[in-house]
Amino acid sequence: MAKLCNVGLIGQGFMGRTHSNAYLKVAKFFHDLALEPVMHTVFGMPEEKPEIFAKRWGWRNFATDWKAVIRNEEINLIDIVTPNFMHMPPAMEAIDAGKPVATEKPIAGTLSDARAMAEAAKKKKVRTFVWYNYRRCPAVALAHQLVRDGKIGRIFHVRCIYLQDWGGPKTPLLWRFQKKLAGSGAHGDLNAHVIDMARFITGDEIVEISGSVAETFIKEREIPSTGSAGGIAGGSKGSKKMGKSDVDDAVLFLARFKAGAVASFECSRLATGYKNMNGIEVHGERGALRFRFEDMNYLDFYDATADMKVQGWTRIMCTSGSNHPYVGAWWPDAHILGYEHGFINQSADILNILGGNKPVVPIPDFADAYETQRVLEAALISAKERCAIKMSEVK
């Protein structure tokens, strides 16, 4: 029988639900976990009624003091799902207590916070994890393996998009539209994912940012009387008071990788017609890869070494239990997976790492996620100064 890991969840909302579901399900499907999670305590502010969240999502206890959760000697892992500006305080408290800590992405609201968190974790030698959950899609993990195995050869060109349309004029002033709470807008929320995905799949690092454009189209939004679950939907229930939206609605930029590949990145919350179009293309000397999250069970592969008369995109259904990452824990072949499975897969990897086993694919720790945060920062500097920025200039 696996040893137990008592988890303390700091925060609720959309990500609180996804993480709770992961802890509920992971041991039911991954039968060889090094540690099994115990949903010990969830923190929420009094007005969030954490007792209701705890009962609904299977937490044994609830608390309205996050420091008390972290200081509880029974709790072994701290998982932070608060708005971005609140990642650092509980993370630093957990690091000081010597407890493993996980945070949602991006690692923090600002680059300086992210750097402080990474440095503190390194100094204290504390295990850290960041929930870049799209790495845990079997198709993305397979893309990483194919590039690592040389299937597409030298990489020439990477194209990344993350397009949504929920941030139109009628969407109220949620925390995601306030710089003091979110750090940035679509950029930190969406580009963070595809930057991490590009770094993960290529195994390479970005060395220069150029041609960056950041735009705030909706400069004022209605102040909501109540927040929405996850900060994505819902109205403001009659309030007409307006507030300033001071984060980007869309950011586009170009990049160059250390090994010579060039890349483009594009994110928007005003891409009318797209609900959650998270995608990447990687074009190389021997072949190419193409992934779209809205069709997440498939990876497209182009083999440029095949005979010309049979060259073409091969559509791979990435749910063969014996051949594809993570799928052996799930359903029979072609019984497809969904959004929540990426979180469950990541929770399995976290628990295995803490128990001394290897993950299926690498998980970003604070140091890794700090590199993605540096790219986010460089793109905003490039947009503001209208010039190319070398990553060596961004610390």
3-state SS, 178-247, equals: CHHHHCCCHHHHHHHHHHHHHHHHHCCCEEEEEEEEEECCCCEEECCCCCCHHHCCCCCCCCCCEEECCC
Query: 136-337+362-366+370-385 adopts what CATH topology?
Result: Dihydrodipicolinate Reductase; domain 2 (3.30.360)
What six digits make up the tokens of 153? 């050869």
User: Would you list the domain boundaries of the chain?
Assistant: 3-134, 136-337+362-366+370-385
Q: Is the pTM of this model over 0.85?
A: yes
The residue written with tokens 């029974």 in the block is 74
pLDDT the model gives residue 233? 41
pLDDT the model gives residue 394? 95
3-state helix, strand, coil split of the chain in percent (to 5) is: 40, 25, 35
pLDDT the model gives residue 225? 73
Residues 6 or more apart whose CB falls under 8 angstroms from that of 91 comprise 78, 80, 101, 103, 108, 117, 128, 366
Question: Degrees (nearest 5) of the Cα angle 230, 376, 136?
Answer: 55
* Nearest Cα to Cα of residue 68 among 90, 48, 47: 90
3-state SS, 145-170, equals: HHHHCCCCCCEEEEEEEEECCCCCCC
What six digits make up the tokens of 22? 């992961």
Report whether 62 contacts 40 (CB < 8 A). no
Print pLDDT tens along the chain (395 aa).
Answer: 679 999 999 999 999 999 999 999 999 999 999 999 999 999 999 999 999 999 999 999 999 999 999 999 999 999 999 999 999 999 999 999 999 999 999 999 999 999 999 999 999 999 999 999 999 999 999 999 999 999 999 999 999 999 999 999 999 999 999 999 988 999 999 999 999 999 999 999 999 999 999 999 999 999 987 543 434 444 444 558 999 999 999 999 999 999 999 999 999 999 999 999 999 999 999 999 999 999 999 999 999 999 999 999 999 999 998 899 999 999 999 999 999 999 999 999 999 999 999 999 999 999 999 999 999 999 999 999 999 999 999 98
Report the amino acid identity of residue 215: E
Report the amino acid identity of residue 228: S
Rounded CA separation 230/42 (Å): 16
pLDDT the model gives residue 1? 63
The top-level CATH class assigned to 3-134 is: alpha beta
- Phi–psi pair at 47, nearest 5 degrees: -70, -15
pLDDT the model gives residue 231? 40
* Nearest Cα to Cα of residue 179 among 252, 274, 109: 109
Check residue 277 and report its DSSP letter.
Answer: E
What six digits make up the tokens of 228? 């929405």
